[in-house]
Amino acid sequence: MRWKERWGWLILGVTMAASVVAAEPIAPDRPDFTDGTLIVSPGYLQVEGGVTRSQGGGTSETVLPELTLRFAVSEEMELRFGWDGWSEQSGGGDVVRGINDMSVGAKALLLGEEAQPLRIGVLAATSVPIGSSSLTSDAWDPLVKLLWSYSLGDDYQLSGNLVAARPTENGVHYAQRAQSLELGADLSEQTSIYLEYFGMSRETLDGPSTHYLDMGLTTLLSEDSSIDVRFGKGLNRAASGWFSGVGMAMRF
């Protein structure tokens, strides 16, 4: 009978451990510009999406469903598939509608456990030129992000990204740099907010640098789902005037 008792206690322990892992709430990478250092729990598929509306300088754009699929291959690495989907751009009497390029990549944790204050990760991806003729870059455009986060206690966290990309415009590759800094705060066990700055060296081949400030809120509907909202504004003339969006994330 002793071996049966041992197996019983082992099964009970494994079940309790699995319950603890499953109880970790979902941590989406949206709606902010900054990608986090957290990796999706192994065995889960996480789906994130939403819609964004931006306008300014006589132009406007709507993008949806801003889809991101995340699947962990280990506790330190996840695979990612992104697709902004459909967009409509209008300005100067012209309207451009179509399908955007998609992206494939991976995110890895380089330093830090979940309980440690400092965490460092990296995200590498490339675009896949499947979009409409008016919107595709017609090239595989690489991107690398250095991710970091630092806990300021139970309810506050600083995080940011350093980005190096090589987009394509009219068949010409050009270097693009970006950076972000974000302060996040937990209002409750279900709701968190953030305030974020992000900027890019240029968004087009011959364009100037752009700078933005945005804030948003995320609310957990359950351990495996959340909804979010964000608002932002360009800080210089070259940046979009205003932008806003809503979205959600689900884990399966």
% pLDDT > 90, the chain: 83
pLDDT tens, 72-87? Answer: 999 999 999 999 999 9
Q: What CA–CA distance (Å, rounded) separates 95 from 219?
A: 35
pLDDT at residue 8 is higher than 60 = no
Query: What is the residue-averaged pLDDT of the chain?
Result: 91
Domain residue ranges in the chain: 26-251
Query: Residues 6 or more apart from 101 whose CB is under 8 A from it?
Result: 127, 128, 129, 130, 131, 135, 136, 137
Sorting pLDDT into bands at 50, 70 and 90, what band is 113?
confident
Sorted by sequence, the CB contacts under 8 Å of residue 66 that are 6+ apart come out as 30, 48, 49, 50, 51, 52, 84, 85, 245, 247
Q: Which fold has domain 26-251?
A: Porin (2.40.160)
Q: In the predicted model, is pLDDT for residue 1 greater than 90?
A: no
Q: How far is CA 218 from CA 118, 158, 187, 190, in A?
A: 22, 16, 10, 8
98 and 135 Cβ atoms separated by less than 8 Å? yes
Distances (CA, A) of 163 to 33, 79, 125, 134: 11, 18, 11, 26
Q: CA-CA-CA-CA torsion for 97, 230, 48, 247, nearest 10 degrees?
A: -70
Q: What is the pLDDT of residue 114?
A: 66
Q: What is the pTM of this model?
A: 0.88
Chain centroid, CA 228 distance in Å: 12
- Check residue 248 and give its pLDDT: 98
Q: Taking residues 211-232, what's their average pLDDT?
A: 98
Q: Mean of the pLDDT values across residues 153-166?
A: 96
Q: What is the average per-residue pLDDT within 21-31?
A: 82
Instruction: Assign 58 a pLDDT band (cuts: 50, 70, 90).
Output: confident
Binning pLDDT at 50, 70 and 90, where does residue 15 land?
very low
Q: What is the pLDDT of residue 19?
A: 41
Segment 136-147 mean pLDDT: 98
130 neighbors 143 (Cβ within 8 angstroms): no
What per-residue confidence (pLDDT) applies to 16? 42
User: Is a pLDDT exceeding 80 seen at residue 59?
Assistant: yes
Q: What is the pLDDT of residue 2?
A: 52
